[in-house]
Structure 1
Amino acid sequence: MTVKNICIFGAGALGGAVAAKLASSTSAETNVSVVARGAHLNAIRESGLCLLEAGIEHPLKVRVNATDRPQDLPPQDLVITGLKGHQLGPAAEGIASLLKESTRVVMILNGIPWWYFHRDKSANAELQFDELDPGGKLWRLVGPERVIGCVAHQGAEVSRPGEIRLSNKGHFILGEPSGETSTDLRNIAALLEGSDIGVKLSLRIRDDIWSKLMGNASFNPISALTRSLMSELMADAAISDQVGKVMKEVKAVGALGANVGMSVEQRLEQAQQVGPVRTSMLQDLLGGKAMEITPMVGMVVALGRLAAVPTPVSETLLALVSRLDRENFSGT
């Protein structure tokens, strides 16, 4: 595929970081645009994107075409979404306005994505979930056949409007839902790698989704409920014990069609190395934003029921964090 027009739809922490690196390294013939909103959009328009990366002395500053009206942009060769799962449905029409017949869409998502069962090789192939894709808008307007799955292992935060801070040298795992190593997949990986973005290709992207979900489904809601950093959670024996229980549930539900190779003990040991990081759910809570609950916690419970796997700790967390989200987002 020839990539001349690239749009990052949702240029927040991860999306903005990807946009900055692409804009700084692609040729003059490549147009990088971002879709953003509010103060962040205004700052990007006025001063550009600023990327601060751990271990790198000087910030990366770039200018990109920024808008909150995707329909004003030309058809794109590549769309990369940085929106969270609960933000995608309302953005379906905007994403669709950017598409032409050959456009591929890389979706950077935490948790279970709306396209999860597309081209799956189980009896659940093409199963859709209204809670992930209300009214099937994404399935209908964007189309799962366009999607390249993406699992991010990259700590990022919008430190102020127009400025993004990366806490580590991370990477992105890319994979076709079918498991194929397509030409599009290889070309997109090469484009990202050429922009100093770490990339790994996966033949089993669902395995990678569940491996990361072991952490997301446990640390995110517990950090929000306790307003604690990752390092604080792991330093509390009682809390880390509950984290391990959630991870066991996630691993058991993931056996529905994925192979989660990492053990709970290995995942907990890995978490000990993370340090004083705020999870994305805690960031949203403190920012007064709606939290990404359904893809990361709700779907563990929903798929647990589908697979007849009990998830009592996850069910408790889902009830508690959903209540917290309603009160926080309503401003009460």
Structure 2
Amino acid sequence: MASSPLKTICIYGAGALGGAIAAKLATGLGEQVTVSVVARGAHLEAIRAQGLRLWEAGADRPLVARMTATDNAAELPPQDLVITGLKGHQLTAAAPGIAGLLHSGTRVAMILNGVPWWYFHRDRQSGHAERQIEELDPNGELWRRIGPERVIGCVAYQGAEVINPGEVELSNNGRFILGEPSGENSVDIEAIATLLREAGVNISISPRIRDEIWSKLMGNAAFNPISALTRALMSDIMQNPALAAMVGDVMNEVKAVAESLGARIAISVEERLERSRQIGPVRTSTLQDLLAGKPLEITPLVGAVVSLAKLTGISTPTSATILALVTQLDRENMRAAE
């Protein structure tokens, strides 16, 4: 591979997905790049003590990656690339730390489920270009500190879970989709995709990243909150006729909102439901967070769907009901964790 312009890479939020990418970069690229991670708690201490251990699907031994690990991004120099593995509701608090890692040319690839804070930046599909979404970016902190012009969108189809501190397990051989908000096939996105492929990450580039965001969200907006409310695995949800019907209702609502904003969803709800029936006993990230006593990712997955539906005049009664229920569940879960 020709020498990459990306020499320093920080994974900010090295949990399940972020940790998996960090481990692959550190083990797959050797001295080509300097990889660092921002993590916290027992997970951070384990990474420092024994490295980050990654079990790929079907592997009989883990990859073991050693790298600089910290809970204070200010200890790190400016980076050529920052990859965030944080959930949408965690980003605002991390904005100052991420901002401190930026130099004039730094790009920030954000692995996010749901509607991202930068959604309308350079958007030619919706008629709402440069509109900011307050509930996803309170007081415009991310827009101001990081800047939507730095962002590269990333949609992940990768089952992953932190099974022990410092140890990540992948449930499948997943894939990641990158896209510039403008739809351009830029020099930056090509360089990032090439580097990640060299590290063994399955990467594609989409000129319509918003289509990919909504296609993934059809599943997340349904399965994530329903799994938290019921504590059920995805396979159990689909085996319950009433819950499977509710999943279909949410998918239809999400698809309608997406299309009202100019997105094109290639797959039908019926096809998506059929694919969902093939998914095994997967525990969604929201259910993982609930069981761990962590705040739930609600606004990017459900809240933004409901608010954007109001913006475009789409009715979303099932999503609105689920939003009310899972919001109260989150409050009770946080109260119990205090």
Shorter-chain TM band = over 0.9
| AA partner of residue 221 (structure 2) | A
| Secondary structure in structure 2 of the residue aligned to 1:50 | strand
| AA partner of residue 37 (structure 2) | V
Structure 2, unpaired ranges of 5+: none
Residues 1:257 and 2:235 aligned together: no
Aligned equivalents of 1:28, 1:209: Cα separation in 2: 33
> Of residues 324, 327, 337 in structure 2, which corresponds to 1:319?
324
Q: Which residue of 2 aligns with 1:158?
A: 162
Q: Which residue of 1 aligns with 2:25?
A: 22
| AA partner of residue 33 (structure 2) | T
Residues 1:56 and 2:59 aligned together: yes
Aligned equivalents of 2:109, 2:27: Cα separation in 1: 20
| AA partner of residue 305 (structure 1) | K
Query: Judging changes above 3 Å, is the alpha-carbon distance between structure 1 residues 27 and 52 closer, same or farther for their aligned structure 2 residues?
Result: closer
| AA partner of residue 228 (structure 1) | A
Q: Which residue of 2 aligns with 1:4?
A: 7
Q: Which residue of 2 aligns with 1:65?
A: 68
Alignment of 1:36-185 (within 5 A): 36-121=39-124, 122-185=126-189
Residues 1:282 and 2:287 aligned together: yes
Identify the range of structure 1 (20-29 vs 263-272) with the bigger mean alpha-carbon deviation: 20-29
> Of residues 302, 324, 330 in structure 2, which corresponds to 1:297?
302
Superposed displacement of residue 314, structure 1: 0.2
Superposed displacement of residue 319, structure 1: 0.1
| Secondary structure in structure 1 of the residue aligned to 2:140 | helix
Superposed displacement of residue 27, structure 1: 3.3
> Of residues 200, 210, 214 in structure 2, which corresponds to 1:210?
214
Q: Deviations over 1:55-99 (max 9, x none)?
A: 222210111100011011011000000000000000000000000
Aligned equivalents of 1:36, 1:238: Cα separation in 2: 39
| AA partner of residue 264 (structure 2) | N
Residues 1:242 and 2:246 aligned together: yes
% identity of equivalent residues: 64
Q: Deviations over 1:3-60 (max 9, x none)?
A: 1110000000000000000000113141100000011001101111000111222210
Query: Judging changes above 3 Å, is the alpha-carbon distance between structure 1 residues 324 and 235 closer, same or farther for their aligned structure 2 residues?
Result: same
Q: Which residue of 2 aligns with 1:229?
A: 233
Aligned equivalents of 2:8, 2:146: Cα separation in 1: 17
Aligned equivalents of 2:13, 2:61: Cα separation in 1: 25
| AA partner of residue 129 (structure 2) | A
> Runs in 1 of length 4+ with deviation above 6 angstroms?
none
Superposed displacement of residue 123, structure 1: 2.0
Q: Which residue of 2 aligns with 1:219?
A: 223
TM-score between both structures, scaled by the size of structure 2:
0.97
| AA partner of residue 145 (structure 2) | L
Q: Which residue of 1 aligns with 2:277?
A: 272
Superposed displacement of residue 257, structure 1: 2.0
Quote the RMSD (CA, aligned, Å): 0.8
| AA partner of residue 44 (structure 2) | L
Aligned equivalents of 2:114, 2:55: Cα separation in 1: 26
Superposed displacement of residue 137, structure 1: 0.7
Identify the range of structure 1 (205-214 vs 114-123) with the bigger mean alpha-carbon deviation: 114-123
Aligned equivalents of 1:50, 1:27: Cα separation in 2: 16
TM-score between both structures, scaled by the size of structure 1:
0.99
Q: Deviations over 1:240-283 (max 9, x none)?
A: 00100000000000011211111000101111111000001100
| AA partner of residue 88 (structure 1) | L
Aligned equivalents of 2:262, 2:99: Cα separation in 1: 30
| AA partner of residue 207 (structure 1) | D
Q: Deviations over 1:205-247 (max 9, x none)?
A: 0000000000000000100000000000011111100100000
Q: Deviations over 1:139-173 (max 9, x none)?
A: 00000000000000000000010000000000000
Identify the range of structure 1 (251-260 vs 162-171) with the bigger mean alpha-carbon deviation: 251-260
| Secondary structure in structure 2 of the residue aligned to 1:310 | coil
